[in-house]
């Protein structure tokens, strides 16, 4: 045995202290445990002894179940009262998992009565995992009358399975309005994160795209509740009390469905887009993207094969070209560059530039810049440059202005920024500048790129909507409005709230006369003897316009070689912007026909037909 | 650290030699075993009613309990010194698995908690419920009590690392439980009271920030807790219905199998998280007091085992595991009676199923091991 030394004694002291500290803490812990349990007991005495009578009564009355009553979704009309989105009565099959003992067997037996495909079952199982067991989960939507009858006869065999009558969203005009109105679909996990789940209790669908999505909060309304007395089997005996739901608001759009149809017909099956707006009010009159798709299958759940076909189509019907398609504006940018030249004193109305069909820049350049007209336009002033769309004039003007001035001037018309239209997924286009290229391409700006920006090529991209807004701004001599899609919100009680376009910017220029110079030149594009769009001229009113043709870049590597398709895909995009009448503009239009070729020959007539239909409908 | 340990792990001379019955030779602690069996019995009785008298449910629950007891017995055979030795490895493994879950775990009901091993799915956070207090106890046992600030800081890190990983899954309930288990080790090790109060004050001040970081569903739970009537069909429904069930039970309850709330499907999750309401309805306050007595007996026995343990590691571990068990039933009952927000914790040993049952029984196995491996030394 070792003699106890200092270290051992120290250890013993520590040991004793450790034990004491722990014991004190452990006993305090135990005391706290007892105290907290006492709180529980106090609470239970409160519930079970003091409030016993209250809860006992509630328990007696607990044959009363509360059901949510979903609100009726607001309707959507065009500006003339044509219905674009409505609710039609339908029946669907719903299951309450808690009340079904053998889910597999139940589904199998239901299948013998009602057509239920694999996709329905997959979706149902997906919901089953996420919903609570006492929630009613839909298995099949839109039963036909025969299926309803067949189930009704066999109802007693299926406890926990019910046929629910409901309203299904329907879009009577189908593809015509799909890119504007959008569609509703079943609420997904992602949707649940952005909504107040309590208000969507009982609601199965939510706006997925278009106005259905961006105006969801107006369209949906407020959920109501119904207190229903049930018997032990859950059969409803009578309604005791209800808080009625508050229907969503009806929307009256600025869109004219008739004009929209005219635009679709005018595009004649080509891929393209057209945006028409009222420059004074900012109201969008037509917003077309072709090809389109039928939104109705999306409501009850589109089949995977159908959806895949839409996605895979080379014509991209789901893609809203009018607000998301980004194209080089080509020569349609010239009136704006011309205005910049006048405004910044780089040219005046009558100064000319000599065009030989080819332009040799002052800076050292690898190549000369060509005009579309081989032998040139000769002596060219501003009006001629717009009317005949002379490229050399704009190479020189862009060179004199410099990219940064071009960029900041065009920005005032809304290029390079979203227009703020209330539709999801709007493209912002590209307004190139030194700063933009440094940030996005990590490269310095080359002078040659300034020249091609002058004719709307190179990096610059704009959506058809941006072009329409810029044209409207030109038409109103500088009133830059945020485009408006909804004119009036109509509450269920019938009260109406008018909507007005926001003024984004009032462009003030030094010499207001410059507006009319440019506008007059644009009128000559249509009405002048040499105008590139003279074929659409009308006698009754004067149209101001500008054609554009923008180059399409080469094929992507993985695209298949198909002689006919290839030839088409390499063709230029045809563009046209216009407003009418010249003196008192009431409509501004931007058109793009993908791979259409010449702007004057292909795009201008489309705009012409729309403007004509509009002017005629106004009875002038 | 190792040298410090060997001297302090010397048996305490003042302990009376424990009775060496058959139970002790099998490494079973009889009082604890009786307490657990009593609670398991209550579970089967209440479940029979809550589960609409389905024999299937009872058989499955009995099997689960059986597995739980087997795990407890198996773990009780392992001497505490082995736990102490393996703690860092277990902890490291747990951390690795938690990271694996975040990288390649399965998503279920909006959270990523599971690892799929083909044959079975595993929730690493369950392992951490034991590994974290074990590691914290192992670390603090390397010093004299009370621990110095540096040791407290390191121990806090040991606890917070897995807690943050679990918060990220996100599984706030489990994260809080594990933070609690680790926190109890610190509390029991005698950290200064000033520190305890400062942390509590800090937490109170941090409330707005925590609110900001919470997921929407978590915020909704808190809001519903504050005002269940705001959403009478959603989250508020549970609390309203369970209060009706419990309150209507009165002193003696409506009698076994006579509860109406669960049977008529007004009370959701009546066999799992809200089983307490069924007990309250059918057996009244009397039944609840019996259950609470059972729980308090088990907790008291656990604390006695902790106090009588012979080394610092065993004490801290036993104390922490026992107090965590208390948190389980306190939070569950608090939530079912509307005192606390709904956090989705089962009523320990009573609720149907739950992977946490096995973890809990493993913890009791550790307690038995600590109690029955004490050395018989007289001075």
DSSP assignment of B101-166, as one string?
A: HHHHPEEETTEEEEEE-SS-EE-HHHHHHHHHHHHHHHHHTTSPSSPPHHHHHHHHHHHHHHHHHH
Å between A195 CA and nearest CA of chain B: 10
Tokens for A110? Answer: 């239901």
Q: Has A331 been annotated as catalytic?
A: yes
Q: A433 is written with which tokens?
A: 């500048």
The one catalytic residue among A214, A292, A331, A598? A331
pLDDT score recorded for residue A570 = 74
User: What is the topology classification, in CATH, of domain A60-82+173-251?
Assistant: Penicillin-binding protein 2a (Domain 2) (3.90.1310)
Model pTM score = 0.61
Q: Is residue B379 part of a domain?
A: no
Residue A116 has pLDDT above 70, yes or no: yes
Residue A117 CB neighbour total at 10 angstroms: 10
pLDDT digits (tens, 9 = 90+) for A486-513: 999 999 888 999 999 999 989 888 888 9
Q: For chain A, what is the mean pLDDT?
A: 87
B57-64: long-range pairs with CB below 8 Å, 24+:
B57/B271, B57/B352, B60/B352, B60/B353, B61/B352, B61/B353, B64/B353, B64/B357, B64/B358
**Any idea which of A179-193, A401-415, A549-563 has the lowest mean pLDDT?**
A549-563
**Hey, CA dihedral for A507, A509, A512, A518, is it positive or negative?**
negative
Choose among A36, A56, A134: nearest Cβ to B248.
A56
Q: How confident is the model over A518-532, as pLDDT tens digits?
A: 999 999 999 988 888
**Residues of chain B contacting residue A227, judged by C-beta atoms under 8 Å apart:** none
Q: What is the pLDDT of residue B1?
A: 38
Question: Which residues are CB-neighbours of A475 under 8 A, at least 6 positions away?
Answer: A279, A519, A544, A579, A585, A588
Query: Chain B contacts of A19, Cβ < 8 Å?
Result: 12
With a cut of 0.90, is the ipTM above it?
A: no
Q: Please name the residues in contact with A336: beta carbons below 8 A apart, sequence gap of 6 or more.
A: A409, A410, A413, A470, A474
Total domains in the fold of chain B: 1
Give me the domain span that covers residue B105: 2-372
Q: How far apart are CA A203 and CA A87, in angstroms?
A: 13
Q: Say what the pLDDT of residue A555 is.
A: 41
CB atoms A40 and B230 under 8 Å? no
Q: How far is CA B108 from CA A129, A194, B271, in A?
A: 8, 20, 21
Residue A407: is its pLDDT beyond 90?
A: yes
Residue B129 lies in a domain: yes
- For A47, the closest chain B residue by CA position comes to B247
Q: Of A529, A526, A545, A547, whose CA–CA distance to A537 is shortest? A: A526
Q: What's the pLDDT score for residue A556?
A: 43
Going by their DSSP bridges, the two strands A76-77 and A250-253 should be labelled as: parallel
- Asked if A36 and B330 come within 8 Å (Cβ–Cβ), the reply is yes
Contact call for B260 and A62, based on CB within 8 A: yes
Predicted confidence pLDDT, tens digits, chain B (379 residues):
344 444 444 444 444 455 567 777 888 899 999 999 999 999 999 988 887 777 888 888 899 899 999 999 999 999 999 999 999 999 999 999 888 888 876 655 455 666 665 555 568 888 899 999 999 999 999 888 788 889 999 999 999 999 999 888 777 778 888 999 999 999 999 888 888 899 889 888 888 887 777 777 677 767 766 666 656 555 567 788 888 889 888 899 888 877 776 655 566 677 788 889 999 999 999 999 999 999 999 999 999 999 999 889 999 999 999 999 999 999 999 988 988 877 778 899 998 866 788 899 999 999 999 999 887 543 3
User: What are the percentages of helix, strand and coil residues in chain B, rounded to 5?
Assistant: 70, 5, 30
- Lowest mean per-residue pLDDT among A132-146, A166-180, B362-376: A132-146
Question: What pLDDT does residue B123 have?
Answer: 80
Please provide the CATH number assigned to the domain covering A88-168.
Answer: 3.30.1390
Partners of B184 on chain A (C-beta within 8 Å) are 29
**Distance to chain B for A34, nearest Cα, Å:** 8
Phi, psi dihedral angles at B296 (to 5 degrees): -65, -35
Distance (Å) of CA B106 to CA A253, B91, B95, B129:
45, 22, 17, 20
Distance, in angstroms, between A104 CA and closest chain B CA? 18
pLDDT of res. A236: 65
Tokens 């005629």, residue located: A616
Q: Please give the helix or strand (H or E) that residue A60 lies within, else none.
A: helix A52-60
How far is residue B228's CA from residue B226's CA, in Å, rounded to a whole number? 6
Contact between A130 and B109 using a beta-carbon 8 Å cutoff = yes
Res. A228: pLDDT tops 80: no
- Residue B42 CB partners (closer than 8 Å, separation 6+): B279, B290, B291, B294, B350
CATH for A257-617, options being 3.40.710.10, 3.50.50.60, 3.40.50.1820, 3.30.420.40: 3.40.710.10
Summarize pLDDT for A586-620 with one digit per residue, the tens.
Answer: 999 999 999 888 878 889 999 999 999 999 988 75
**CA of B264, closest CA in chain A: separation in Å?**
7
Chain A stretch 146-205, residues whose beta carbon is closer than 8 A to a beta carbon of chain B: 189, 193, 197-198, 201
On the question of a cis peptide bond just before residue A365, with omega within 30 degrees of 0, the verdict is no
A18 lies within 8 A of chain B by CB:
yes
Nearest by CB to residue A66, choosing from B233, B280, B296, is B233
Chain A partners within 8 Å of B250 (Cβ): 48-49, 52, 56
Minimal C-alpha gap between B327 and chain A (Å): 9
In the three-class reduction of DSSP (H, G, I as helix; E, B as strand; rest coil), residue A490 is classed as: strand
Confidence of residue A128 (pLDDT cuts 50, 70, 90): confident
Nearest-CB residue to A47 (from B247, B265, B296) = B247
A49 has a chain B CB within 8 A of its CB: yes
Please write the tens of the pLDDT for every residue from A541-575. Answer: 999 999 998 877 544 434 444 545 556 677 889 99
Which chain A residues are within 8 Å of B284, Cβ to Cβ?
Answer: 48
Cβ-Cβ contacts under 8 Å, A226 against chain B: none
Which residue's structure tokens are 């290229």? A437
Domain ranges of chain A: 60-82+173-251, 88-168, 257-617
């Amino acid at each position: 045995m070792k003699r106890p030394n200092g270290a051992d004694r120290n250890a013993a002291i520590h040991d004793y202290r450790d034990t004491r500290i722990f014991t004190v803490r452990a006993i305090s812990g135990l005391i706290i445990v007892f105290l907290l349990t006492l709180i529980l007991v106090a609470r239970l005495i409160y519930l079970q002894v003091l409030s016993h009578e209250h809860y006992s009564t509630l328990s007696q009355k607990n044959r009363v179940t509360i059901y949510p009553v979903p609100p009726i979704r607001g309707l959507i009309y065009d500006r003339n009262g044509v219905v674009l989105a409505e609710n039609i009565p339908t029946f669907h099959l719903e299951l309450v998992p808690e009340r079904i003992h053998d889910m597999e067997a139940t589904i199998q037996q239901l299948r013998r009565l009602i057509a239920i495909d694999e996709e329905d079952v997959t979706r149902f199982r997906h919901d089953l995992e996420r919903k609570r067991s006492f929630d009613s989960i839909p298995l099949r939507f839109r039963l036909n009358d025969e299926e309803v009858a067949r189930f009704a006869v066999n109802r007693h065999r299926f406890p926990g399975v019910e046929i629910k009558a409901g309203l299904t969203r329907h879009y009577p005009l189908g593809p015509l309005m799909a890119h504007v109105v959008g569609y509703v679909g079943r609420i997904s996990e992602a949707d649940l994160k952005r909504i107040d789940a309590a208000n969507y209790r009982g609601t199965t669908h939510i706006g997925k795209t278009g106005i259905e999505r961006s105006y969801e909060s107006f369209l949906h309304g407020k959920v109501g509740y119904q207190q229903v007395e049930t018997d032990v089997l859950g059969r409803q005996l009578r309604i005791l009390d209800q808080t009625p739901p508050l229907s969503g608001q009806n929307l009256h759009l600025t869109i004219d469905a008739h004009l929209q149809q005219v635009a679709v017909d005018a595009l004649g099956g080509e891929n393209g887009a057209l945006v028409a707006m009222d420059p004074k009010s900012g109201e969008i009159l037509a917003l077309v993207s072709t090809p389109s798709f039928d939104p109705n299958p999306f409501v009850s759940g589109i089949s995977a094969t159908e959806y895949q076909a839409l996605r895979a189509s080379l014509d991209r019907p789901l893609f809203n070209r009018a607000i998301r398609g980004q194209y080089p504006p080509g020569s349609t940018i010239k009136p704006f560059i011309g205005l910049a030249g006048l405004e910044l004193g780089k040219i005046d109305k009558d100064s000319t530039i000599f065009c030989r069909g080819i332009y040799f820049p002052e800076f050292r350049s690898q190549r000369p810049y060509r005009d579309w007209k081989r032998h040139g336009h000769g002596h060219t002033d501003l009006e001629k440059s717009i009317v005949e769309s002379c490229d050399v004039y704009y190479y020189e003007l862009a060179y004199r202005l410099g990219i940064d001035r071009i960029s900041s001037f065009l920005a005032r018309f809304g290029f390079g920024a979203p227009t703020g239209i209330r539709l999801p997924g709007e493209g912002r286009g590209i307004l190139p500048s030194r700063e933009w290229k440094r940030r996005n391409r990590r490269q310095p700006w080359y002078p040659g790129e300034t020249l091609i920006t002058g004719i709307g090529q190179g990096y610059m991209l704009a959506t058809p909507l941006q072009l329409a807004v810029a044209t409207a701004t030109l038409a109103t001599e500088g009133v830059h409005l945020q485009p408006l899609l909804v004119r009036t919100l109509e509450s269920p009680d019938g009260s109406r709230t008018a909507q007005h376009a926001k003024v984004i910017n009032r462009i003030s220029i030094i010499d207001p006369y410059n507006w009319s110079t440019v506008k007059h030149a644009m009128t000559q594009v249509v009405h002048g003897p040499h105008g590139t769009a003279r074929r659409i001229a009308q006698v009754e009113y004067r149209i101001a316009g500008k054609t554009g043709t923008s180059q399409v870049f080469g094929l992507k590597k993985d695209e298949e070689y198909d002689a006919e398709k290839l030839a088409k895909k390499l063709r230029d995009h045809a563009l046209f912007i216009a407003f009418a009448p010249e003196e008192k503009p009431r409509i501004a239009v931007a058109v793009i026909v993908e791979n259409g070729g010449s702007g004057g020959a292909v795009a201008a007539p489309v705009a012409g037909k729309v403007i004509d239909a509009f002017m005629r409908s106004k009875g002038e | 650290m190792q040298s410090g340990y060997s001297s302090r792990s010397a048996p305490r001379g003042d302990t009376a030699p424990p009775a060496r019955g058959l139970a002790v030779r099998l490494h079973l602690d009889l009082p604890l075993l009786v307490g657990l069996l009593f609670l398991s019995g209550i579970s089967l009785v209440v479940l029979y009613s809550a589960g609409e008298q389905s024999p299937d449910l009872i058989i499955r629950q009995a099997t689960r309990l059986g597995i739980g007891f087997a795990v407890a017995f198996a773990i009780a055979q392992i001497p505490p010194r082995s736990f102490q030795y393996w703690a860092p490895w277990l902890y490291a493994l747990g951390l690795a698995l938690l990271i694996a879950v975040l990288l390649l775990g399965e998503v279920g009901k909006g959270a990523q908690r599971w690892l799929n091993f083909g044959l079975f799915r595993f929730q690493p956070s369950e392992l951490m419920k034991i590994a974290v207090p074990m590691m914290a106890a192992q670390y603090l046992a390397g010093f004299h009590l009370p621990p110095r600030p540096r040791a407290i800081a390191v121990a806090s890190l040991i606890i917070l690392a897995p807690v943050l990983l679990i918060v990220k899954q996100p599984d706030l309930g489990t994260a809080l439980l594990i933070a609690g288990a680790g926190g109890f080790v610190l509390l029991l090790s005698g950290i200064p009271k000033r520190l305890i109060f400062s942390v509590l004050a800090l937490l109170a001040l941090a409330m707005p920030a925590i609110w900001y970081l919470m997921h929407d569903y978590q915020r909704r739970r808190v809001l519903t807790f504050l005002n269940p009537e705001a959403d009478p069909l959603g989250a508020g429904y549970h609390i309203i219905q369970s209060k009706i069930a419990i309150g209507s039970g009165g002193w003696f309850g409506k009698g076994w199998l006579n509860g109406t709330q669960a049977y008529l499907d007004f009370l959701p999750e009546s066999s799992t998280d809200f089983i307490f309401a069924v007990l309250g309805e059918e057996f009244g306050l009397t039944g609840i007091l019996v259950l609470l007595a059972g729980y308090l007996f088990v907790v008291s026995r656990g604390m006695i085992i902790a106090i009588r343990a012979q080394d610092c590691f065993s004490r801290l571990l036993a104390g922490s595991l026992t107090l965590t068990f208390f948190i389980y039933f306190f939070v569950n009952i608090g939530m079912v009676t509307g005192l606390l927000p709904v956090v989705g914790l089962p009523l320990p040993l009573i609720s149907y199923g739950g992977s946490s049952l096995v973890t809990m029984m493993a913890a009791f196995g550790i307690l038995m091991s600590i109690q029955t491996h004490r050395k018989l030394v007289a001075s």
